[in-house]
Each structure stands twice: as structure tokens, then as C-alpha cells.
Structure 1
Amino acid sequence: MKNERSLGAVPARYSMAALAAIVALTMTACGGSSHNDKEDLVSTACEAGTSDGSVVVGSGLPGDPSFPELASGYRTGKKVVEGHQYMVVTANPLASKAGCEVLKSGGSAVDAAVAVQMVLGLVEPQSSGIGGGAFMLYYDAATKKVTAYDGRETAPAAATPDYLRYIDSGTQTTPLPSARASGRSIGTPGAVRMLDLAHKEHGAKPWKDLIQPGIDLATNGFKISGRMSDALAGAKTALQADADALALYFNADGSTKGLGETFKNPAYAATLTKMATGGADAFYTGAVAQGIVDKIAVAQNVTTGAPITPGVTTMSDLAGYQAKKRDAVCTTYRAKYVICGMPPPSSGGIAVAQAMGVLENFDLAPHKPTALDLEGGKPTAMGVHLVSEAERMAYSDRDMYVADTDFTPLPGPLNSTLLDKSYLKSRAALISPTQSMGTATAGQFGNTRMGVGKVAEAGTTHMTIVDGKGNVVSMTTTVEAGMGSYHMTQGFILNNQLTDFSAAPTTADGLPIANKLEAGKRPRSSMAPTIVFDATADGQPGAFKMATGSPGGATIIQFVTKTLVGALDWGLDAQQATNLVNFGASNSRTTNLGGEHPNINATNSGDNDPLVLALRAMGHTVSVNAQSSGVGTVIRTANAAGEARLSGGADPRREGVVLGDTYKAK
């Protein structure tokens, strides 16, 4: 670390070419991979590539991806990053840097995830943090086992089924100023306890050392990025209701802190310091927990004096929170791959598996994108049509049947119901090659009858990490909507995750809704951290193939599915599959086609784009609204000699980068 900090101070006196040579030598001395003569490449550790060589993230040099610039809907020209043994992809350069430094020093993938989350809560507070929840899929290379870690938030023990609908059952008045911005939306945070559980089982470095990068950055400060600046400005009025947010995120003139301003968060540093010395218990008990409970109980807007409906979370809710280990949802795909995803309370793993299970009944190869370029080319109408129709059916089953299975069981064992191959084949038969179905009807399993409660999801961020021993983390983490509940305590944002429940426990005709709110229950999610393996002859997971995931609320399922199809069916590299136009559909007539992508002509509502016109001719209602994914992908590849390598892609729709012991030509 000292060597890299000194490099960050030197470069003004050197050309970029000279700096690159110094960096290469220094990285070797610091533990980076050595020169590989056979491939005529040099490997540098935790460096970002530039046209002139490489640069230390956070140095402020030309090409430094952490240098603040305006947020962009899509950044063209991102190329796949190739590495040797370890790699990390996050949605923020400073977070990728923190994780990569852990990997470079011999830390595990879980170690790196802890460091990444502590930094993300500071530099990307609008998306995730210690006041939220997370799902982690972990592959242990030694045991060949995939484990799902559930850090989803829970409803407080005193919550009633109408907790989000009414202040009380007598007056039936809705929470003020809204369910989201009230204390009622805040679930008991789970990310810290989940990371603690995973670290105790798979960590290689002391917990306190992994918290330190976040402490340092919060203390010394960083320059605010475009996405953070935009998020603060967009949530200005709502954040003004909270005393802690008002003090931290606003300037003296009443404006929110903006692009390029140096931002420090001493309260967050103090919270992390308590966690570094006291472990996860310091978050769930004592002063930090009391601060969370007190903020949830706040009943007044600090700026206007308007009432805020408090929540009912207690110290016992915090102290009693448990992260859970669950069995991953793993299914074969085309008998070539095994795709593993997150089980309930996330619906993401099941929905992705269903969509892919339907799609394996079609030959997708002829429908790969045309005019292939760095951005993933131009999708074909048939490719978009088939994927969207498969997703419509997956969402229909998800909406009806999937919730927290500790409270609401699935209609039966997955392999004989929702993920049964014959069932998915029968669903595939419902797809017309010429006409969209518009909306799909959920499958029927026995006498099970459930109602559907539509819920809007938002927010979130994702990280994909491979360590030097081949262990893999795919983790999606969130405070739900941008800036969560707008409630803040001790330097961190509190989630609004309980709004992922259906506010009503039953439909208008009395059918029970699987995702209804219950005390202690975890709200359904669409987060879909995913790990893929080559399939063995008996259909079991073999060698690691790829890992991916994305933020994006309910559209996460679409973002992950298109990335998997892009890589597995269309042969796109990690960056191309990540870049690829976002397309797909939930269970509605609307098919999404990301208009932020340079290969889509979104002018005139898409009427000037042949792909849009072709889809509309097939009955699709096409939306070309921008799609704010944040896909992070790592794919195992091989060099000419057949030696294993890693390739990574970070979504150009966000600010993230790929870092690792990366290869660059001499």
C-alpha cells in the first residue's frame, strides 16, 4: 500500500510510459504477478489500463477511472480486461480498488467482498450499504460447493400485515409522508451479519483489516462522482427531512454536495471503527443499534415539521437478526452448463433458471446479434422475442408463487414443479415464433391457488470477485430505492426494503398473496447473483465458467438472463455480454429495449429503429427507455497454451471497473 500511495504522488514528474515501467516493477515487488515471457505480456496488480500504460485508481492521473466526471447513460469503448489469478468487478472504481488490494495481499473472495461493501456504503450510498441487505452466492474451489448466504432484511416482530398500508387499523390512514419515506419501510439490516457469517467460514484476513479501507476513505475523503452527485440532487427534498442527512450531504447554501467536491464522512468512519474492533455485534447491539432504532422511531420532518409515521423496530429486532445459509438453485443448461442462483426469499435464481430452462428448447445461435462490435452488436428481433417471451412466463410464476419460503412454501419441490424440465418444455411450446403472447398465465400445480400483488423494486449494486485460489463471490447488495428510506444514522443510509412486500395481504377476491408482510419475514427480491459451471457427464457442476449479476430492481432478472445468453449462446466475451443491449420483459405487454445503448436508435420513441419496428410487428409494445443496469461479469478463459485465465467486464452504464492481476501487452 505504501508503494502505491507513493506512486500516486510521483506521476506528475514522469511520462505515462515511464510511469508504466515503474508501476510494473513496483507491482512485482509488492506481490503482483511476474513477467510472462511466453505470452510476451506483463501483469500489473490492481491497475486500470489507459492508452499509455496503466494508472493507480485514486491517483487522479489521466485515465484514472475514479476521477469525477458527469454521470453517463452509457460509456462506449470499454474493452474486456484479461487477468491471471484474481479479479474484482464492482460499480465504483474505489470499491474495486479496495477489493483488489485485499486479493493482491492474499485475501479471499469473501475478504474482498467485506472491504468492497464498506467502501460502497460510502461512495455509492444511493445503492447499498451497511444499513441494507444482500445476497451472496459463494463457490468454494476446494470443496467444489456452492453456498447461498441470505442477508435479506426482516420485518420487525411487532409488524402487522397492514404495517405498510395503514398507520393503524382503526383509522386506516396511509403512512406519512409515504410508506417509503416513513419509518415503516425500514427492515432490520442484514448485510453486516451476512458478511460476518461468510467471513467466519471463508475469510483469510482479520475482519478489522477489511474494514480499514472504508475508515480511511471516510476520514481522508474522496471526490464525489457523477452518479452520487445526481442521486443526492434527485433526493434533495426527501433528504432534507432527516437531520443526519441534512448535516452530511448539504452545503451551507442549501444545495446538495456536487460533482468533484471532496466528501468526508466522519460519522461513518466512527461506525466502521466500532465494527472493526467489536465485530458485527457492534452493529447489532449497543450504540449503533440504538441509533438505528431511534432513527426508525423519528416522527417529524426536521425541516418542515410535518409528521413522519415511525416504525416499530426494537433493539431486540436488531440483536435477534440472523443471516442464513441456504441451498443454491442449480440447474443444467443445454447439458453443457450448470447455472447456480439465489434461492428464496430472492426470486432471481428461480426466475433466471426458468427463463433459461425455456430457452434451452430453442436454438438461439442463429439469432445472435449482428454487426458485432465492442458494444455487443445489434440484437436480432427473434433473439429479443424468444428471450422476452421466456421471461414473461418466468415472471408470471414468480409473481404468484415465490416469496420467503420460511413463511410461504413453494408449490412443491423445484425439480418437480417450477424447474421441472418437462414443465419448462411445455411452457416453451406456448411461444409463437411470430407473435408475442403479451402477458403469460402462471402455471398450475395441484390445487394451489395464490393471488398476485405487484411490487415495484429499484436500487441496488453488484460485485463479482474471483480470488487467487479460485473461490468465487457473486454478491448483490442494496438499500432498495435510491437513497433508501431517506433516513440516515451514524453516517449510513437506512433501507426501504419492506416496500418490496405486497402492502395488501390478499387480493380483492380474497386470495392470499405469497409476498405479504408478516412479522420477521423477509421481502421477496429479484436479486440474482449467478455462478455458472461447465457440466460434468452426470450433470453436476464441473469447472468454474463464469459469474455475473446486476442491480436494477425487478429488471435484474432480465439483465442477468441477457448476459448469460450473450456469453453462453452467442459467444460474447465478458465485456461484450455485459455491454450488450438490455432487453427483456416482465409479465406485461411491454418489452424493454435499452435506448441508452449506442446501437439502439431511441429517437421518435424508437420508430426509426428497424429492430423496434420488427418487434412491434410481432405484437410487442416496445419501450426504449434507458435501462440502468450494473452488470459485473467474470468469465474463465484460456490462453493459446490452454492455461486458465480470467476475463472481466464492467457495465458501461455505471462507473465500475475491472481490476486484478491484469495482462497488458509489453
Structure 2
Amino acid sequence: MACRPLIVFALLAALAGCASPRPEAGSTDSRPPTPTGASAPPRGDATALPPPPETSTGRHGAGSLPSATRQMVAAGHPLAAEVGREVLRAGGSAVDAAVAVQAVLGLVEPQSSGVGGGGFALLWDGKAVEAWDGRETAPLQADGRLFIDADGRPMELQRAIVGGRSVGTPGILRMLEAMHREHGRLPWITLFAPAIRLAENGFPIGARLARQIASDTALAGDAETRAYFFEPDGRPKAEGELLRNPALAATYRAIAEGGADAFYRGPTAREIVGKVRASTNPGLLDLADFERYETRRREPVCADYKRWRVCGMPPPSSGGVAVAQVLGMLARRNISVVPPVEVDGRLQPQPDAVHLLSEVERLAYADRALWLADADFVPVNLAGLLDAGYLARRAALVTDRSLGVAPAGLPPGSRLAFAPDASVRESGTSQISIVDAQGMAVSLTTSIEWLFGSRLMVRGFLLNNQLTDFSFLPEDGGRPVANRVEPGKRPRSSMAPTLVFERDGGRLVAVLGAPGGSQIIEYVAKTLVGLTDWGLDLQSAIDLPNFGSRNGPTELERGAVPASLAAALRERGHEVAEVDMTSGVQGIVVQALPAGGRLLVGGADRRRDGTALGD
């Protein structure tokens, strides 16, 4: 790739003379923490993660599985993954690499993430799991009527998305800075150098970005997005064209030199507020929202599944809880006995497996809609939602016939006070998975929400539309919706950065996550089941056709499954919908070698531009 020497040169020049890395962290036998009151599912079968690539049970040969023994980065774009690897080679930590990778993704994958958005991260430092919340917040001037029209009806989704009304206070920079303050090894100022150089010199537009520019009917509505993504005659910029972004280079330079305050307390914040309030669909962001924004440290959601311990993100994300519920219900139903089979040269899930996983997902999504929201604003009964007896009762609802639309449950210790949030939204996101040479691991899911967010651009980056993740209706039938808009509240998300450990001993065995909006829970659950129950290598688990249910139709990845699968599901009462399921899972499996040491095996979703690179 023509840009590659420029990136490496810029990074090495920026990192020259940096302090040597901290010594390798010692090992520990402590297990990742469990939320207070949460109970674990029964141990179940002691199945194992797949062996190293040379003897993998998956369909890929050793040559096609990226592997390393020291460190690895898996990210949604080759340029971002390469920059992350160079940071690790220079002695940087997993957090240092995450900062640099995110900066590059904000340039080369602007439709999915960037400094105008937010994210969630799970971090393993060798001793404990940390959950970092960089989710956007609603303006302090907002209330439950933010997305209600003058006639009292909820706004049409596309009208709500485009413009300033949907923009929340960005959180990703504050979160990354706070993580770097605790876990960085290299100077903050050096981590933006590769993205700055790449923004100034340009990068070739990839096929996926070109398609998305050409197909987005709202993108040309803002003067800055029009000037950046379109030719002067109005034609969308095409695949292979060199895209330069000097405005973003200047933004990154200011952040590199002045830290996150350069974004939150300077002219950038003022320009964002001005753009949001002057748009044709004006929003309510104010400078006070930027000044008061804070990153949150939260307790991770960790639960046992057979011989593993799976940790995810707590509310305001629903991802960690929903994945834990899915696995907790599967622990009572033996999905291991129906592994994928090869059909016409491709691994395919069996109908029994699709039925079972879709049904428990319906139950988890039903609970998500009723009970999950920002726990700083509404009581979230994590202990009840993850209670072993409760999950056993929920799993008992699954029969040979589809539930269709599953009811929400009443976890122990809960009172029925909320109305369900019927919305299923969320879209543009990216995933970064990193393991460094000292054993630190980061799973970061980062987003501006819909593809191209609010379609508003400021100083070279797009602004999010995350506020549309709130329920548009603040109440229903006289009961409040937990995920309603409130001042300073964080909208519910489905992002599910995930860390997997051995249940006994606490050894890290996998780092993964996915983009995909509210389908993220389906993607992560399928990948975890592929790894744990079916013994697939990571790439095979990712490549397996996507499927599941968000408590509506049973969704099958369009063009990826045989007609016989849909027919078998319909016989069981499923309403089947073949839909686009562009997952973008990026992950790393950590395997202990018999002679000591470890092997890192990467997996990157071929449905996007993902790449895993390591040493």
C-alpha cells in the first residue's frame, strides 16, 4: 500500500527517544471481578477453546490465521492495525496503541467512529478487569420530549438523525485520555503523529467507504461534508481517490499538544455547539455540556459460562448483560451437540442451533427493552437479571416452537415500574482488540452511531447522532420508559466489548467485540458460542453466517445461508427475515503453549476491512 512507508516513518520519528517500556507485569491467579450479588450459571461441560492453528478444528489452515507470540492488534482497517502494531513495537502499551488506532480510524473509517463520538472499553491489566465508559451524554437542556413532534407523535427516525438534534456530548477523547493517564507508556503527544501525517498526505478511499458515500442521500446536506466527500460538480468521491483531511490533522495536532481540554474547553467545543444549534434540525448542546463531561469507571459484568468467565460492559450498555443472559440460558440447554456442518464448502449453523440461540436472544432482548438504561438515572437490578434461578426459569420458556415475541421477565428483587422501549436502532461502529507484550489487553468498541452520524462535520470529523439511541417516547401507558431522554443521561447502547478468561486460574483466553448497532449482541454471542461450544478457531467463528433474533423476526445473513435453513425454521413457527448482517468482529485468542509462553491468534471480519497484525 502506497501510504504505508509514510505511516511507519511518521510513527518512528514521533516515537524516537521515548522512554523504554515498563517491565512485564507479573502473573496472577485472581479471577476477574463479579458484580455484587450476581450469581454464576452451573459449570456445564468442560469443553475447550480450539488448539493452536496447526491442529485447529476450524476450516482454515495455519497459513491463513494471523498469529504472534508477543503482541497483536485487530482493527477495522489495515492502516489502523498497522499503526497500532508500530506503537506496540515502539514499547507502547495496549492503551497507547488503542489511542493511535482510534485516531487513524477516525480518518479512514469516518462513517463509523471518531472524536465526535463515544465508546466503551474493557481493560485487563493482568490483575483486574476495568470497565471504562466514554458514552455520549444528553444535553443538560434536554428532556423527554426531545424527539416528540408538535403533534405529540415520535419523530420519523431519519428526520431525528440528521442535524444537531441527535448530537450528544462526545466522550471518546475524555475516556482515552483517562485510560492513558493510568496505563500509557508512551507520551500522549506522540500517539497522534501517524494519523496527522496520514491526514495531511491522504489515503486512498476504499470500496466500502466509496459505496457508503455514494448511497447516503443526506450526506451532501452539510457544507463541510459536501466539500469533503463530494467533487465540486456534486459527484461522490470514488474508490481509489486520495482523500486528504488537513482540518482533522489540525484538530489532532491541537489534541496531541493540549490534551482533551483542547477539544472540550476550546474553540472546537464552541464550533460544535454553534454547528449543532444552527443546523436545520437544531439541537440543544451547550458549552456547559462539554465542560461538565466526565468519563465513568464502572464495575464490569462478569459471569461464568461452563469452563470460562466472560466479562462485558455494564449499563448504560446493554451488551454485557444481554450476552451474559444469553450464555446463562444456553448453559441450561446443550448447544454443544449441534455444531456447524459443511454445506457446499462452507460451514453452516444447524437449524437446532439457530432455533435455540435465537430463542434465548429473544428473551434477553425482551429484558433489555424493559430493564436496561443508564444506571446513574434508573435502578438496574443486575443481580436479579443474572440470577441463576431466574435464568433457569427463562430458559425453560424455550420449546421446540418459536416464542415469536418473547415477554420480559420479572427478575428477583425487581418491581414492575417501567414500560418497554420498543425501538431497535443503532448502526455505525468500529471494534479494536489489542494484546500487548506485557499481557495488557483492551477491547474497545467506538461509535458515532448511524453511518456518518448526524451528517454534520466540524474541523474534519463527523458529529454523532447517539441521542437517537434513547426511546423517542418518554412513557407508555402511564409508565416511564427506563431509556427515556433526561438531562445529562447516557443513552442505552448494545456495544459489547468482551474479555474471556479461564474460569479456574483466571488466564486471559480471548479479546473481542463487534460493531453492528443493536445486532452487536447477536454477533458477539454467535462468535463466543463458536469459540467455546463448537471448538472453532476465531476466524471460523467470525466467518460463520450471522443469525439471531432481536425479539422480532429470526434474522439470517442475506446470501450466506441455504434455503433449507429458513424452511426448517419456519416449520418451527419462526418468522424469518434475510437481512444484511455486516458484523465487523475483531478479536484475538490467547493460547497457552505446552512448552511455556503463549500464542496470539487473530481474527478479523471479512465483511468489512478488518485486519489482525502481530509480532
Pair in the same fold by TM > 0.5: yes
Quote the offset at 1:183 in angstroms: 1.0
Match of 1:615 among 569, 584, 596: 569
Query: 2:388 aligns to what?
Result: 421
Per-residue CA shift, 1:117-158, capped at 9, x if unaligned? 1001110011111100000011111xx100110000001111
How many aligned residue pairs are there? Answer: 560
Contact 1:165–1:175 (CA<8 Å) still a contact in 2?
Answer: no
Quote the offset at 1:8 in angstroms: 9.5
The amino acid of 1:5's aligned partner reads: P
Match of 1:435 among 384, 391, 401: 401
Query: Is the partner of 1:399 in helix, strand or coil?
Result: helix
What do you get for the CA RMSD once the two structures are aligned? Answer: 2.2
Per-residue CA shift, 1:520-565, capped at 9, x if unaligned? 00000000000000012xxxx6000111110111110000000000
Contact 1:82–1:646 (CA<8 Å) still a contact in 2?
Answer: yes
The whole-number CA distance in structure 2 between the counterparts of 1:188 and 1:247 is 25
The whole-number CA distance in structure 2 between the counterparts of 1:382 and 1:367 is 7
Mark the CA change 1:123 to 1:7 in structure 2 (over 3 Å): closer, same or farther: closer
Mark the CA change 1:164 to 1:522 in structure 2 (over 3 Å): closer, same or farther: same
The whole-number CA distance in structure 2 between the counterparts of 1:578 and 1:132 is 26
Match of 1:147 among 125, 130, 136: 130
Query: 1:241 aligns to what?
Result: 221
Mark the CA change 1:571 to 1:161 in structure 2 (over 3 Å): closer, same or farther: same
1:501-520, aligned counterparts within 5 Å? Answer: 501-507=470-476, 509-520=477-488
Query: 1:563 aligns to what?
Result: 527
1:245-284, aligned counterparts within 5 Å? Answer: 245-284=225-264
Mark the CA change 1:362 to 1:7 in structure 2 (over 3 Å): closer, same or farther: closer
Contact 2:273–2:285 (CA<8 Å) still a contact in 1?
Answer: yes
The amino acid of 2:314's aligned partner reads: P
Mark the CA change 1:378 to 1:208 in structure 2 (over 3 Å): closer, same or farther: same
The amino acid of 1:371's aligned partner reads: E
Q: So what's the TM-score if we normalise by structure 1?
A: 0.81
Match of 2:85 among 93, 100, 105: 100
Quote the offset at 1:448 in angstroms: 2.1
Query: Is the partner of 1:254 in helix, strand or coil?
Result: coil
Per-residue CA shift, 1:268-305, capped at 9, x if unaligned? 00000000100111010111111111111123xxxxxx
The amino acid of 2:448's aligned partner reads: V
Further displaced range: 541-550 or 336-345: 541-550
Query: Is the partner of 2:507 in helix, strand or coil?
Result: strand
The whole-number CA distance in structure 1 between the counterparts of 2:152 and 2:274 is 25
Query: Is the partner of 2:67 in helix, strand or coil?
Result: strand
The whole-number CA distance in structure 1 between the counterparts of 2:64 and 2:344 is 10
The whole-number CA distance in structure 2 between the counterparts of 1:339 and 1:372 is 31
The amino acid of 1:524's aligned partner reads: R
Query: 1:650 aligns to what?
Result: 604
Contact 1:176–1:182 (CA<8 Å) still a contact in 2?
Answer: no
Quote the offset at 1:79 in angstroms: 2.9
Query: 1:64 aligns to what?
Result: none
The whole-number CA distance in structure 2 between the counterparts of 1:373 and 1:650 is 23
The whole-number CA distance in structure 2 between the counterparts of 1:594 and 1:614 is 15
Match of 1:549 among 493, 502, 513: 513
Mark the CA change 1:288 to 1:563 in structure 2 (over 3 Å): closer, same or farther: same
The structure 1 segments of at least 4 consecutive aligned residues displaced by more than 4 Å after TM superposition are: 6-9, 169-177, 372-375
The whole-number CA distance in structure 2 between the counterparts of 1:174 and 1:134 is 26
Contact 1:79–1:649 (CA<8 Å) still a contact in 2?
Answer: no
Query: 1:21 aligns to what?
Result: none
Query: Is the partner of 1:517 in helix, strand or coil?
Result: coil
Query: 2:53 aligns to what?
Result: none
Contact 1:175–1:184 (CA<8 Å) still a contact in 2?
Answer: no
1:205 matched to 2:172: no
Give aligned-pair identity as a percent: 47
Query: 1:183 aligns to what?
Result: 164
1:337 matched to 2:308: yes
The amino acid of 2:515's aligned partner reads: P
1:218 matched to 2:199: yes
Contact 2:192–2:252 (CA<8 Å) still a contact in 1?
Answer: yes
The whole-number CA distance in structure 1 between the counterparts of 2:124 and 2:272 is 33
Query: 1:591 aligns to what?
Result: 554
Larger Rg, first or second structure (1 or 2) = 1
Q: So what's the TM-score if we normalise by structure 2?
A: 0.88
Query: Is the partner of 1:340 in helix, strand or coil?
Result: strand
1:231 matched to 2:212: yes
The amino acid of 1:390's aligned partner reads: V
Query: Is the partner of 1:453 in helix, strand or coil?
Result: coil
1:157 matched to 2:140: yes
Query: 1:314 aligns to what?
Result: 286
1:348 matched to 2:319: yes
Quote the offset at 1:449 in angstroms: 2.7
Contact 2:7–2:198 (CA<8 Å) still a contact in 1?
Answer: no
Query: 1:55 aligns to what?
Result: none
Query: 2:67 aligns to what?
Result: 82
The whole-number CA distance in structure 2 between the counterparts of 1:272 and 1:151 is 18
The whole-number CA distance in structure 2 between the counterparts of 1:8 and 1:406 is 43
Quote the offset at 1:7 in angstroms: 12
1:460 matched to 2:424: no
The whole-number CA distance in structure 1 between the counterparts of 2:486 and 2:141 is 9
The whole-number CA distance in structure 2 between the counterparts of 1:170 and 1:379 is 47
The amino acid of 1:215's aligned partner reads: I
Query: 1:532 aligns to what?
Result: 500
The amino acid of 2:443's aligned partner reads: S
Contact 1:177–1:309 (CA<8 Å) still a contact in 2?
Answer: no
The whole-number CA distance in structure 2 between the counterparts of 1:101 and 1:93 is 12
The whole-number CA distance in structure 1 between the counterparts of 2:385 and 2:592 is 35
Query: 1:630 aligns to what?
Result: 584
Mark the CA change 1:244 to 1:642 in structure 2 (over 3 Å): closer, same or farther: same
The amino acid of 1:405's aligned partner reads: A
The whole-number CA distance in structure 2 between the counterparts of 1:518 and 1:81 is 45
Query: 1:63 aligns to what?
Result: none
The whole-number CA distance in structure 1 between the counterparts of 2:607 and 2:259 is 35
- Residue segments in structure 1 that go unaligned for 5+ positions in a row: 10-30, 32-75, 300-307, 602-608, 662-666
Quote the offset at 1:196 in angstroms: 0.5
The amino acid of 1:421's aligned partner reads: A
Quote the offset at 1:319 in angstroms: 1.5
Per-residue CA shift, 1:329-371, capped at 9, x if unaligned? 000111x111000000000000000000000112222100012
The whole-number CA distance in structure 1 between the counterparts of 2:544 and 2:511 is 16
The whole-number CA distance in structure 2 between the counterparts of 1:341 and 1:463 is 15
The amino acid of 1:344's aligned partner reads: P
